[in-house]
Structure 1
Amino acid sequence: MRGIEQPMAVTGRPVTFWENAQDREEYARLDEPADLLRRLHRLREPKVLGLPHFDPFAKVRGSLATMEGLGDEDRRFLSERAERLRKEYERLDFVLPFGVVHGDANVGNAIRRRDGRAVLIDLDGFCLAPREWDLVLTSLHYERYGRHTRVEYDSFVHRYGFELMDWPDYPILADLRELMMTLRLGRRITADERAAREFAGRMHAIRTNGSRRDWQPF
């Protein structure tokens, strides 16, 4: 916040202040996060931050290790899929420059301020990674889940300036992102009946390469 020197120490803990964007929830249009990501991806890494390098498989391993209530067959299937994707990921030929990324970029993390401008939120995944990682969720939401129209998706591609689905390795990155989303949901199956039903449906779709159009957001 302007006019306040921060961070400040309160009872030995660092504290920062955040400005409320507006009092009601209003998401940006899909072309707006494309503009924001294009600007973000032009930034050079601020060395003073010591940003971590993104390791998607650290999260995959962590989720598999902590999931409760998962049957042996499902655990084996997910572990084998994760290992196959790890080997494929290591061979990916990324075409966009490596650098700073949002880490969880999608239209749900772009809201409108009270002055009408769109801003990115939820920057806890800010790190160094291939820039393709910041585009894959939007492509997934359009191509597999049907959550964006063609017109909306085309506006995103046009404003960002790159069509991820034209990249030959897009399916590998998409499968990995989808696996991570499913594993995150799987950590809730013992405590949330709705999550358990959704997880079972997703597992069936992944096993059979079935439609994802009925997947519910969590």
Structure 2
Amino acid sequence: MTAPAPTHGGYEATELHEVLHRACTAVGLNSTDARLLRGHTNAVIALAEAPVVVKIARRGTPPSNVARTVQFVEWLMSRDFPTAPLHPVKQPVIIDRHTTTFWTYLPQPSYPVTAEQLAKPLRVLHNLPKAPIDLPVHDNIRAIRKSLDAATSLTSEAREYLSDRAKRLDEELGKVRFDLPATTIQGDPQHRNALHSADGRAVLCDWDTVAYGQPEWDLVTVEVHCRRFGYGKIHYRAFADAYGRDITNWAGYRVLRDIRELRMITTNARKTSHTPGSSSEVMRRVQGLIEGDSDLQWSIL
């Protein structure tokens, strides 16, 4: 496999090569000359000998969570939902406590999916009947606290500030009145969690965060990504118009926005042991929160 050692994300190339080889062999695929696409939460690898993408989860990722994702995507595919499709093999495959899945490779142009293109599949997702899979309940505050407990790179002052902020926002969340009915949500809809399909549609991918919850969380996530990562108001407006709802006009927007941004910061703080170069960006984001700068541009980690 063509990848440096260690790869981005902290995976050791030798170990990754071995896990990839054994997982591919188990389902009749060839891993020769595979190419690392991404190595943050999961190692995402494109095979050279077949149009397949392999996702290798870190040790410690519960296999049951990955199996649930596979079952959910199989259900989406049975409904012809616009999702990145699974490769038709029995999966997941567990190698040395790494849970591995296989996906159909979709060649991508040089430009990402736009926020406007995210609107249609998200609206369809939010209107699907309840999935016949036991999905977790979406809980950002719980995820924030879990990440804070696991983060090792934060200063004591930053940790205290983020903890206090989470406590205050949890109290404010209890007063929010949601307008939309709870449903299946993607959990992290954004430009990098969607792909162009061969027929020109946008399809959603990376279903690790799928959950049962309020669709307002998905809508505010798109808004945060447009604002924080430089896509701009026009880009977001096209999404809101296409979806049919502008989350920024809703009374609960500020609370959900602040919680979603806090989760993004604390999640990246937890992952700095795998991506040590990200610590300065995490602290820059924290300082922006302290200063109340809601338009500070963030760098992608």
Q: How would you bin the TM-score normalised by the shorter chain? A: 0.7 to 0.9
> What is the CA-CA distance between 1:108 and the residue it aligns to?
1.9
Aligned with residue 45 of structure 1, among 130, 137, 140: 130
Superposed CA RMSD in Å reads: 2.7
Structure 1 partner of 2:117: 32
Distance in 2 (alpha carbons) for counterparts of 1:204 and 1:95: 32
**How far 1:114 moved relative to its partner?**
2.6
1:174 to 234, 252, 257: 257
Task: Give the conservation status (yes or no) of the 8 Å contact 2:86–2:102.
Answer: no
CA distance in 2, matches of 1:50, 1:130: 16
| Deviation >3 Å, runs of 4+ | 1-11, 13-17, 23-26, 188-194
Residues 209 and 54 of structure 1: CA distance in aligned 2, closer, same or farther (over 3 Å): same
Q: Note the residue ranges of structure 1 that are not aligned, 5 or more in a row.
A: none
> Does the CA contact (< 8 Å) of 1:99 and 1:128 recur in 2?
yes
How far apart are the structure 2 equivalents of 1:156 and 1:49? 29
Structure with more relative contact order (C-alpha pairs < 8 Å, separation 6 or more): 1
The aligned counterpart of 1:76 is 160
Query: What's the counterpart of residue 183 of structure 2?
Result: 99
- Deviation for aligned residue 1:100: 0.4
Cα distance, 1:104 vs structure 2: 0.4
Structure 2 matches for 1:91-130, cutoff 5 A? 91-130=175-214
Residue 86 of structure 1 deviates from its aligned partner by 0.9
Question: Does structure 2 retain, via aligned residues, the 8 Å contact 1:6–1:17?
Answer: no
State the Cα distance separating 1:152 from its structure 2 match: 2.0
Aligned 8 A contact 2:112 2:191 in 1: yes
1:18 corresponds to: 103
Q: How many residues align?
A: 215
* Residue aligned with 2:257, SS: helix
Distance 1:77 1:22, change over 3 A: same
Describe the shift of the 1:202–1:39 C-alpha distance in structure 2 as closer, same or farther (beyond 3 A).
same
TM superposition score normalised by structure 2: 0.64
Question: What residue identity is the alignment partner of 1:167?
Answer: W
What is the TM-score normalised by the length of structure 1? Answer: 0.86
List runs of 5+ in structure 2 lacking aligned partners. 1-84
1:10 and 1:184, CA in 2 relative to 1: closer, same or farther beyond 3 A?
A: closer
